[in-house]
Structure formats: C-alpha cells, structure tokens
Amino acid sequence: MAGVSTATVSRVLNEPERVSAKTRSRVEAAVAHFDYTPHFGGRALASNRTNTVGAVIPTMENAIFARGLQALQEALAADGVTLVVATSNYDPEREAEQIRVLLGRGVDGLVLIGEARDPALYAMLERRGMPFVLVWSWRPDCPWPCVGFDNRAAARAMAERVLDLGHRHIAMIAGVTRGNDRAAARVEGVRDALAGRGLRLDESNLIETPYHLEAGAQAARRLLADSPRPTAIVCGNDVLAAGALTEVRGLGLKAPADVSVTGFDDIDLAHALDPSLTTVHVPHRRMGQAAAKLLLRLRAQKGETTNVVFETALVERGSLAPPGK
Amino acid sequence: MAGVSTATVSRVLNEPERVSAKTRSRVEAAVAHFDYTPHFGGRALASNRTNTVGAVIPTMENAIFARGLQALQEALAADGVTLVVATSNYDPEREAEQIRVLLGRGVDGLVLIGEARDPALYAMLERRGMPFVLVWSWRPDCPWPCVGFDNRAAARAMAERVLDLGHRHIAMIAGVTRGNDRAAARVEGVRDALAGRGLRLDESNLIETPYHLEAGAQAARRLLADSPRPTAIVCGNDVLAAGALTEVRGLGLKAPADVSVTGFDDIDLAHALDPSLTTVHVPHRRMGQAAAKLLLRLRAQKGETTNVVFETALVERGSLAPPGK
DNA sequence: TTGTACGCGTTATCAG
DNA sequence: CTGATAACGCGTACAA
C-alpha cells in the first residue's frame, strides 16, 4: 500500500531516522490503516532477541515481592522490555523448572530472588551466556551480579535493638530456610545479636514456618505457651509478625505490654496493624529499579558487573517496647 | 548427532508417539547432551502460536489481584501456557497501550479486568480474532466472555446488612469510578440499598479515592469530621477499609462502637486487623482458574462463550456492629 | 535513501 | 516411520 519494500517498512519501525520523512509518513499511514503489528516470532527469529526478561519469584500472593516487582516491570518497560513472571512457591526444584520454562520462551535476561541455588544451574546460565541478576539478597562477596541488602546485618540490628530495650527471653518466627538464603540470613543475624549477649536461639524458641498469616499465628501460639513466656518475638517478615500479633490478641495478651513483636520488610500492612509494627524497612522499589538497570546493562554487554547494596532502616512503631511495659 | 533430520527432532519434541522408540531415544539423548532448547521465535514463526497469554491488571502492588492472578497463572501453566502480566495503574489509556504491547508480543489470548473500555478496543480485538476474557466483573447481559461476580449485588447486600443493624447515617469510601466498572457498580449497589430505605449517597457522604491505605485514611478523616458523625463507613475494598480503621483509631475513636467499617474482597489483611474486618468474600482463586479454563477453550475453538458467575459471601467479623454499641 | 536477497529455527506437507 | 523441502515474517548486509 505504501509502495515500498518490506525492508523500508522494517526501517521505519526500527530506525525511523534512516528513512526520508515522505516515505516514512506513507508507511506510517499504511501501518495505521491496517493496524499492523510486527510479528513477534519473525522478529525474534531474525534478530535473535525477544526484548523479554523473566523473573522467578516465590509467590505473587505475598505483598513482599509485589512492590519490587512492579518497579522492576516499570523500569524495564521504559526500555521496551517486557517482564514475564513465574513463581516457584519457595521450592528450589520448581524454581529450576520455571527457569527452564523461561529460557524456552526465549527471554534474554533473568531476575532471580536470592542466591541459594544449585551450582549446576548457575553453570548452565553462564554456559548459555544468559544475563541474570540476583535480587533481595546481598553479601560482601557474592560472586554473581546482585542487587539487594544485607539480610543478616539488618536482622542483627533489629535483634540488637530488642536486646537494648532490655529483652532477654527472645523467640523468633522465621521463614523456611531451606533454599532460602534471605530467611537463613535473618536467622543468623538474630543469632549474631543474641550471641553478643551470651544468649542463644534453640529449638524451643525458634520456629521455621511458611510465610502466611495463619502460620505466623500458629507459631506464636506455640512460642507463647512456653513458660516463662518470651517477652519479644522477632519475626522473619511482616506477614508472620501480623499473624503473631493477631494470635497475641487472640490469647488475651497485649502487645507490646505482654509481648513485643517485630517484623521485616515494612509492607503497607505494617502500619495498618494495631499496634503498628516495628519492622525493618526495605527499599523494594529502588531495588527493583536498580535490578532493571543492571540487567539491561548486562544484556547490552556493557562490561563489568557492579553489585548494588541498599541500606535498610529500622522503623520503630508501636509493637516493640521494653519488657513488662 | 542423532543422525536424523530436523523434521524428526521436531516430531520427537511435539508428537513423540509418532516416532519409533529407538529413534526417539537417540534424539532425546542428543537433546540432553547439548542441553538443547527449541528456539522460541522460530517456533512462533512456524506455528503462529506463542502459547502465551497476556493479562493487564491495574497494579501488582495490591493484594486484590495477586491471589486471582496466581491462580490464573497456575492454571495456564498446567496447559503449558505462560502468563505475561502488564499493569495499567487504573488508567484506561495506559491499559489500551499495554494491550497493544501484549499483542505485539504475540500473545494468543488476553485476560482483562472489568468491562469498561473503549468500544474501538473491543472492535480491534474481534477484528484480529484475538480471544479474550473479562474477569472480576459480571452483569446479567455482558456481551463479552466474562468470569466474575455481581459487584453491584454484593455491595448492595453488604449495605443492606448495615442498614438492618440499624445504621441510618452511612458514608462510603469508594474507589475511583472512572474507567472502573467494579468501583462504579459497588457504589450503585450501596445506592440501591439506601434507596430502599429512602436514603441517599451524596457529595457529603461519598468519597472516591485511589485504592491505597493512606487515601482510605484521609477519606475517613473527612467523613468523620461531619456532624453528626456517620455511624458506619462502607468501603469499596479492604485496603480502603484498613486505612479507614487506622484513621478511626488515630482520631481516638473505637470501631465498631463509635463507627462501623466494612470492606470488600476479603484479602488476608482483613482478619489481621483489629477489629477484624467485616467484608465481602470474593472467590479470587476460583475466578482465576475459571478464567484460565474459559480462555483456553476460546483459544482452542471458536466455540460458544459461556459466562461464569461466582457467588460472593458476606463475612461478618468484628468491624461491624449496631450503631452506638 | 531505498530495494534485493538471504538467513534465522521451526513446523507442516508430501513423498518415499 | 522418516527425510526433503517449502513456508513463516522479519532484519540486515549489500547493491543500486
């Protein structure tokens, strides 16, 4: 209809500046008239690029990942890259499978949560030259490109604050640590802090449980049955803390007077609770944006991999107070 | 390596039963050895299928869509179909743009939230023969394939319950109704109920606001400044209700003694709040599954379109009580 | 500035 | 049951 070759159409779509204004407008008119869209497969085949990156997260049902993911997606979209999200339900095997699915879909980059996974998987990604970025996790000498924060140090800081307020009988509700370095690092951080005062975390005051409200409530019930009762419960994330707070109330106790509760992540929920939740603020949005930036750079082969670490901040609200107060 | 033609490899991958066991195992060995993955673009080009469906939701940052989306994704994955999610931020123009992006990405099906959108968009989808399903929304004679629930009737039932308890001065915090038929239907439902008792919703007792905690809190502040104070605030969703409850507390009032608050959706948050939230339960997971099923059927055969409607249920918790009690 | 011609990796058709 | 071969729609050297 525009009276030009397909090559010219291709140029109008991809490098409009290389086409004369007159020809261009003719082609553009035809495109508009037929509501033409380039065929994705043809494009991917010829250019060997899909402008798609994949992310595998544990679950969408949890606000923890939503904010960061939204930011990641927006930042990628600004560069014309589409994000495909798959979920693993915190299962390492399922994660590996989803990574394969995404590779099979021709993603040209990958965003993965945390660092703990089979070395063979990393080897495979490198063999294929597949760019990837690890998020939510960071430690001093992580060998892979990563954008995250120091879960261990943050958890330690929180636990130290609890200790500083005078708590000595401290329990923890952690996420399941198998295949989850963030959950494991948070436990270690609390251990670090306790060890500094000659205290320990053992089976009687540490429960690992899935990240659900109900699981948090159950864990709190078990911990609070101990006698003497712990005066503070440090939780591996805000969802567990919310569950714990609900249970504290259900048992007829008051937080923080009878027992303090702390969270981790600072999701919206944290300040809708009563008492509002003292927690660790994580800059999810900035993390998502930074991950996008790094991945786009890796994809463009712009050389060296700079890891990015974010600071977390302790947010004091109402759920933590000195013991017996 | 297997000493066969590419055609045979293709058959081993797609219709293994049509290949002799011996040849098949040779090919499979080669596939495993080279860690071979079919090229997505080539496949899409030759078969004109991507096994990808797209969804455009308002936002991922809100738990409202997370559960349904997760279920949708799981159900699609069971059929080897990948879900690509885009977000519109409740902006109709942005939604249209995202739909174009997804079409450009070669999705072979679309899941859209709600029904309100430009007729030209529907015309375009039909012209292209693009299968699509509307979710979260349903009304008796929706002309498009949809899987949802009757927002209006559900909101009406909630408001009637509030009235039955004796409330007469009722306010509402609604979502922004522009381009959002669910939010609009919920307002209409409340209006229906009030009209049945000779009451109305006007500017002084209806506030439209984005679906955020903080916005809910602000709206509640304005509504509660009215005198006499409303005895009940009906909210367009749980997030708004959570914000309202926080503000009620912030103002030194007690819910439900001084003012009752109701929500909509029944997200997890609802029973972590204190008082726990009386709300409308929406079967998000089943809705997501049903949407997947319908879309897959539409994609497979241009068969008859059966709309699916789900029942909602009023869940009575602590935030609603008779006035002055 | 534009057109020609080829190749990308797969599937589908048809012949053997 | 298997192989040869022609599409599929696009990007891109290269030529004009």
Residue B80: how many CA atoms within 13 Å on its side-chain side? 5
CA distance A133 to A245: 35
A106 Rama sector, left if φ>0, alpha if ψ -120 to 50, beta otherwise: left
pLDDT in tens, A280-316: 999 999 999 999 999 999 988 766 778 999 999 999 9
Which one, of B133, B160, B149, B137, lies nearest residue B54 by Cα?
B133
Nucleotides of chain C in contact with protein CB (under 7 A) are 1-5, 7-13
A213 phi and psi angles, rounded to 5 deg: -55, -50
Q: How far is CA B256 from CA A163, B109, B205, B260, in A?
A: 37, 45, 18, 4
pLDDT for B304 equals 72
Gap between the Cα atoms of A63 and B271, Å rounded: 16
Q: Which CATH number fits domain B51-149+283-312: 3.40.640.10, 3.40.1190.20, 3.30.2270.10, 3.40.50.2300?
A: 3.40.50.2300
Q: Which residues are B174's β-sheet partners?
A: B208
Q: B38 CA, C12 C1': separation in Å?
A: 17
The mean pLDDT value of chain A amounts to 93
Instruction: Quickly count: other Cβ atoms within 10 Å of residue A34's Cβ.
Output: 9
Contact criterion met (CB < 8 Å) for A45 and B50: no
A44-63: average pLDDT: 90
**SS3 of residue A319 by DSSP:** coil
CATH T-level assignment (fold) for domain A151-282: Rossmann fold (3.40.50)
* Nearest residue in B to A46, CA atom: B41
The two tokens of residue B304 are 């008859």
Q: B138-142 — which CB contacts under 8 Å span 24+ positions?
A: B138/B307, B138/B308, B138/B309, B138/B310, B139/B115, B139/B185, B142/B115, B142/B307
Helices (H), A165-306: 181-195, 213-224, 238-250, 284-299
Q: Looking at residue A178, what is its pLDDT?
A: 93
State the pairing for strand pair B170-174/B232-235. parallel
DSSP, collapsed to helix, strand or coil, labels residue B48 as: coil
What is residue B309's predicted lDDT score, i.e. its pLDDT? 96
Q: What is the mean pLDDT of residues A43-67?
A: 90
What's at A202, amino acid-wise? D
Which of the four pLDDT bands, split at 50, 70 and 90, describes residue A325?
Answer: low
Q: Say if residue A140's pLDDT is above 90.
A: no
Put residue B104 in one of left, alpha, beta given phi > 0 → left and psi -120 to 50 → alpha.
Answer: alpha
Q: What is the pLDDT of residue B245?
A: 98
Candidates B40, B108, B254, B267: best to mutate against A (most CBs of A within 10 A) is B40
pLDDT tens-digit profile of A188-237? 999 999 999 999 998 899 999 999 999 999 999 999 999 899 999 999 99
Q: Which residues of chain B are in CATH 3.40.50.2300 domains?
A: 51-149+283-312, 151-282
Q: Name A20's Cβ contacts closer than 8 Å, sequence gap at least 6.
A: none
What is residue A302's predicted lDDT score, i.e. its pLDDT? 62
For residue B302, what pLDDT is reported?
64
Nucleotide nearest A8, from its CA to each C1': C2
Q: Which helix (H) or strand (E) holds A83?
A: strand A82-87
pLDDT of residue B303: 65
Structure tokens at A315: 């947010």
Closest by CA position to A109, among listed A148, A143, A72, A59: A72
Nucleotides of D under 7 A from a protein CB: 1-5, 7-13
- pLDDT at position A43 over 80: yes
Strand order in the sheet with B308-310: B82-87, B52-57, B110-113, B132-135, B146-149, B308-310
Residue nearest to nucleotide C13 (CA to C1'): B7
In terms of pLDDT, which residue wins out, A48 or B167? Answer: B167
Judged by CB atoms closer than 8 Å, whether chains meet at B105 and A52 is answered as yes
Q: What is the pLDDT, as a whole number, of residue B325?
A: 64
Question: Which whole-number Å values give the CA distances from A231 to A169, A208, A277, A324, in the listed order?
Answer: 6, 19, 16, 8
Burial B147-160 (b: 16+ CB within 10 A, else e): bbbbbbbbbbbbbb
B125 and B314 in contact (C-beta within 8 Å)? no
The segments of chain B whose pLDDT lies below 50 read: none
What's the pLDDT score for residue B177?
96
Buried b (16+ CB within 10 A) or exposed e, B43-68: bbbeeeebbbbbbbbbbbbbbbbbbb
Instruction: Count CA within 13 A, CB hemisphere, residue A229.
Output: 18
